[in-house]
Amino acid sequence: MKNTEQTSSEGGQEHAVRHSAEQRHAAELQRLREVDTDPRPEGWQLSPRAVRRFILGDAALQVSRKFYGDDPLVDRAIVTLMGHQGLMLVGEPGTAKSLLSELLAAAISGDSALAIQGTAGTTEDHIKYSWNYALLLAEGPSRRALVPSPLYQAMEQGRLVRFEEITRCAPEMQDVLISLMSEKQMMVPELGGDARVHARRGFNIIATANLRDRGVHEMSSALKRRFNFETVKPIRDHGFEVELVMQQLQRELAAIGANVTVGRDVVELLVTTFQDLRAGQTREGTAIKTPDAVMSSAEAVNLVYAASLEALHFGDATLRPRELANQLQGVVLKDNADDIKRVRHYFDTVVRERGRRDDLWKDFHDAARKLWL
pLDDT tens digits for 56-115?
999 999 999 999 878 999 999 999 999 999 999 999 888 889 999 999 999 999 999 999
Q: What's the sign of the alpha-carbon dihedral 256, 257, 259, 262?
A: positive
Highest-confidence segment of 169-173, 231-235, 286-290: 169-173
Residue 191 C-beta-side C-alpha neighbours within 13 Å: 16
The gap between the terminal CA atoms of the chain, to the nearest Å, is 38
In this structure, of 133-142, 154-163, 336-345, the range with the lowest mean pLDDT score is: 336-345
- Asked whether the predicted pLDDT for residue 8 surpasses 80, the reply is no
pLDDT digits (tens, 9 = 90+) for 275-311: 999 989 998 888 998 888 888 888 999 999 999 999 9
Q: Find, among 106, 57, 51, the residue nearest to 79 by Cα.
A: 51
Q: Where are the alpha helices (DSSP H) in the chain?
A: 21-24, 26-35, 48-56, 71-82, 97-109, 124-127, 133-139, 150-157, 171-174, 176-183, 221-224, 238-255, 264-279, 297-314, 321-332, 338-346, 352-355, 359-371
How far, in Å, CA of 41 to CA of 45, rounded? 9
Could you tell me the CA-to-CA distances from 248 to 32, 50, 64, 167, 174 in Å, in that order?
22, 23, 12, 28, 34
Q: Find, among 119, 116, 40, 53, the residue nearest to 81 by Cα.
A: 40
Q: Where are the alpha helices (DSSP H) in 83-149?
A: 97-109, 124-127, 133-139
- For the entire predicted model, the pTM comes to 0.84
How far, in Å, CA of 149 to CA of 131, rounded? 10
- Asked whether the predicted pLDDT for residue 16 surpasses 50, the reply is yes
As a whole number, the mean pLDDT across the chain is 90
| CA 77 from centroid of its chain's CA atoms | 15
- Asked whether the predicted pLDDT for residue 258 surpasses 90, the reply is yes
How far, in Å, CA of 67 to CA of 78, rounded? 14
Instruction: Report helix, strand or coil for 250.
Output: helix
How far, in Å, CA of 78 to CA of 87, rounded? 9
Output DSSP code: residue 190. G
- What percent of the chain is modeled with pLDDT above 90? 72
- Asked whether the predicted pLDDT for residue 23 surpasses 80, the reply is yes
Instruction: Report helix, strand or coil for 210.
Output: strand
- Asked whether the predicted pLDDT for residue 9 surpasses 60, the reply is no
Amino acid at position 37, single letter:
T
Average pLDDT over residues 252-281: 94
| Torsion angle (degrees, nearest 10) of CA 36, 41, 44, 48 | -50
Amino acid at position 189, single letter:
P
Contact 79, 48 (CB under 8 A): yes
pLDDT for 72: 95
pLDDT for 6: 43
